[in-house]
């Protein structure tokens, strides 16, 4: 079995040696799992990905989901994949046992979906959204709603979606206009349009359960007047048969990437005959959505991290194989009689391969670190721990969503560059990765939205408590790294970067205190970039500590592997962490050039 799209050894190392996934089963909540069962689950998913997912990956791009004769046509293999993934437990996996799930650690679920995304990033969303929609019902829905929907969704028989965006309301959800009018039978009449609905309709599911944001008549303006509804494509009649619920599919957005994953335009209630059922209390819809958002944002980061990994593996294979050029000898000339070398011997190609590697693995690390916080928040046995890991989860979430999405684009672009002209050609997969990954910095909240979330909400929450906790985590790793002579300079460097974070915050926070939020958040994106590079640098230090511990254990068969990780950390510090110096310089610059009221720019 060849896994050209995944470095499985590194995944194992990160899961077990760096983040001790198996240790989670010591928590009571996860006690029904063990190292062997989780490993078997991952192996099964890996096998499935190799046989059923990867072989169809390029084809799903060539034959994208389309809208024809009122129907969305998706690649038929997706039916097979959804069934097999559901059977393997990919929907029920992270669901509590009391709701009929497997109550598996989120880390294991995330590792499994990471493998899936490495093999074929167009498909995990179908089951992923079904899980997300089911979780909303389980968490906030009435027992009646749970009884009707949950089992059928966990088994994959019915699909689920999230319906938030409307043509006039993208990032600004406060402007949604889809309406909900109370009906005598306790349901609501739903009327409105939703766009960008991933997995919103196709012929391989008997029903689609749309978790839909809408405004109940007379609700307050803004986000405080938004409620959450279950709106099935087909509603259940008394005799348990299904009838149409006036949910019409109006189109499928054609996209530059991730083309196997349909992106639909839905119209609710065109015939005034679309029923929805309220989830939880009225006007709390956005709160409910946001409470589920951490997992969704980890999932986006995970998808981007996986694409970056797959691109780096494809580029590496090519670079090992492709012979081209010769080194310049000390004479300043090349020896043209020498055989050409493989291109990975050229320093610049090597730099790109290394950059791909450290970003892809760093992205994987932040996904796993955040998933672990998610698990610890969910399963910790003391309230103090739940609170602590909850805050760490909150501050990591915008970064785990953004870093893999943004830096992953650089990885995929380098993947093209390594192949030269072939990288631009459709016959090589690298260009597809570059197109696919472009969505990750847009959906589930753009990078701009995540950056506002990080700086204006998470950094400042509870007087900076989340940030302090994160800094403490980092300081603990810095202390650990200082035990190893080779790591000391890097630990020291990271420590000085924590000082830089304090410095830029001291520069920015006074604007917030004065109530000038425009100025406070104007460079939020740069703060995000700086803070994520530093966070990944911390995770590389953690990786290096685990590698150094591995070396100390003296297993010579793994020595080269461990040394390689430390070398990668050094590369990250030289080529990536160094970018924060400029970011700090820019953030500290007091010129207010992006505020409209000050600007003299003529567009």
Report the sign of the C-alpha dihedral through residues 372, 461, 581, 414, in that order: positive
Q: Which residues pair with 71 in a beta bridge?
A: 68
What CA–CA distance (Å, rounded) separates 544 from 246? 56
Count of CB atoms within 10 A of residue 508's CB?
21
Based on CB atoms, which residue is closest to a copy of itself, 82 or 223? 223
444 is catalytic: yes
What CA–CA distance (Å, rounded) separates 213 from 380? 32
Q: Max Cα separation, the chain?
A: 90
Give the DSSP per-residue string, 260-281: TS-EEEEEE-TTS--EEEE-SS
Based on CB atoms, which residue is closest to a copy of itself, 70 or 327? 327
Contact yes or no for 490/541 (Cβ under 8 A): yes
Contact yes or no for 44/394 (Cβ under 8 A): no
Based on CB atoms, which residue is closest to a copy of itself, 443 or 540? 443
Contact yes or no for 361/308 (Cβ under 8 A): no
Rounded least distance, CB 455 to a copy of itself, Å:
11
Rounded least distance, CB 330 to a copy of itself, Å:
3
Spatial CA neighbour of 7 closest among 582, 578, 561, 583: 561
Q: Which of 50, 444, 529, 576 is catalytic?
A: 444
What CA–CA distance (Å, rounded) separates 347 from 355? 12
Based on CB atoms, which residue is closest to a copy of itself, 5 or 389? 5
SS3 229: strand
Based on CB atoms, which residue is closest to a copy of itself, 273 or 342? 342
Report the sign of the C-alpha dihedral through residues 171, 174, 177, 180, in that order: positive
Based on CB atoms, which residue is closest to a copy of itself, 448 or 464? 448
What CA–CA distance (Å, rounded) separates 167 from 147? 33
Rounded least distance, CB 167 to a copy of itself, Å:
10
Rounded least distance, CB 422 to a copy of itself, Å:
8
Based on CB atoms, which residue is closest to a copy of itself, 100 or 420? 420
What CA–CA distance (Å, rounded) separates 372 from 40? 20
The tokens describing 335, both together, are 């020896």
Rounded least distance, CB 249 to a copy of itself, Å:
17
Which residues carry out catalysis?
A: 444
């Amino acid at each position: 079995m060849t896994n050209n799209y995944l470095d499985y050894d590194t995944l194992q190392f990160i899961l077990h040696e760096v983040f001790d996934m198996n240790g989670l089963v010591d928590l009571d909540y996860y006690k029904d799992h063990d190292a062997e069962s989780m490993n078997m689950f991952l192996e099964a998913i890996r096998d499935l990905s190799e046989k059923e997912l990867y072989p169809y990956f390029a084809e799903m791009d060539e034959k994208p989901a389309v809208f024809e004769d009122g129907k969305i046509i998706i690649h038929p293999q997706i039916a097979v994949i959804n069934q097999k993934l559901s059977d393997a437990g990919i929907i029920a996996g992270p669901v509590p046992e009391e709701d009929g799930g497997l109550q598996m650690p989120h880390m294991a679920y995330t590792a499994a979906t990471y493998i899936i995304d490495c093999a074929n990033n167009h498909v995990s969303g179908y089951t992923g959204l079904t899980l997300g929609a089911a979780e909303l019902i389980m968490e906030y829905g009435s027992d009646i709603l749970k009884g009707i929907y949950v089992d059928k969704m966990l088994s994959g028989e019915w699909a689920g979606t999230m319906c938030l965006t409307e043509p006039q309301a993208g990032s600004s959800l406060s402007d949604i206009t889809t309406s909900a009018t109370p009906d005598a039978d306790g349901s609501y009449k739903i009327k409105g349009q939703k766009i960008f609905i991933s997995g919103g309709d196709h012929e391989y599911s008997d029903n689609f359960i749309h978790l839909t944001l809408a405004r109940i008549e007379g609700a307050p303006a803004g986000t405080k007047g938004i409620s959450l509804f279950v709106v099935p494509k087909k509603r259940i009649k008394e005799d348990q048969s299904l009838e149409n619920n006036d949910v019409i599919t109006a189109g499928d957005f054609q996209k530059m990437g991730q083309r196997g994953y349909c992106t639909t335009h839905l119209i609710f209630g065109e015939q005034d005959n679309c029923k929805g059922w309220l989830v939880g209390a009225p006007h709390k819809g956005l709160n409910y959505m946001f409470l589920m958002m951490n997992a969704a944002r980890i999932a986006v980061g995970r998808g981007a991290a996986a694409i970056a990994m797959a691109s780096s593996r494809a580029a590496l294979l090519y670079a090992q194989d492709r012979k081209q050029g010769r080194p310049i000898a000390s004479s300043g000339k090349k020896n043209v009689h020498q055989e050409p070398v493989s291109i990975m011997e050229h320093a610049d190609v090597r730099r790109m391969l290394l950059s791909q590697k450290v970003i892809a693995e760093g992205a994987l690390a932040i996904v796993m670190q955040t998933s672990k916080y998610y698990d610890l928040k969910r399963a910790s046995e003391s309230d103090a721990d739940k609170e602590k890991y909850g805050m760490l989860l909150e501050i990591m979430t915008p970064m785990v969503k953004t870093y893999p999405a943004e830096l992953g684009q650089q990885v995929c672009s380098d993947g093209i560059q390594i192949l030269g002209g072939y990288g631009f050609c459709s016959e090589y997969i690298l260009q597809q990765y570059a197109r696919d990954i472009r969505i990750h910095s847009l959906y589930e909240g753009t990078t701009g939205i995540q950056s506002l979330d990080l700086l204006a909400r998470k950094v400042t929450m509870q007087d900076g408590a989340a940030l302090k906790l994160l800094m403490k985590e980092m300081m603990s790793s810095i202390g650990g790294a200082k035990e190893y002579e080779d790591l000391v300079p890097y630990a020291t460097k990271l420590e000085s970067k924590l000082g830089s974070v304090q410095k830029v915050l001291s520069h920015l926070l006074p604007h917030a205190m004065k109530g000038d939020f425009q100025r406070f958040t104007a460079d939020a994106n740069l703060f995000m970039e700086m803070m994520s590079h530093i966070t990944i640098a911390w995770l590389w230090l953690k990786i290096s500590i685990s590698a150094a511990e591995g070396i100390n254990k003296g297993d010579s068969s793994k020595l080269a592997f461990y040394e390689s990780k430390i070398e990668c950390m050094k590369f990250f510090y030289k080529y990536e962490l160094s970018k924060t110096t400029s970011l700090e310089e820019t953030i500290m610059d007091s010129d207010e050039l992006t505020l409209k009221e000050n600007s003299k720019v003529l567009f």
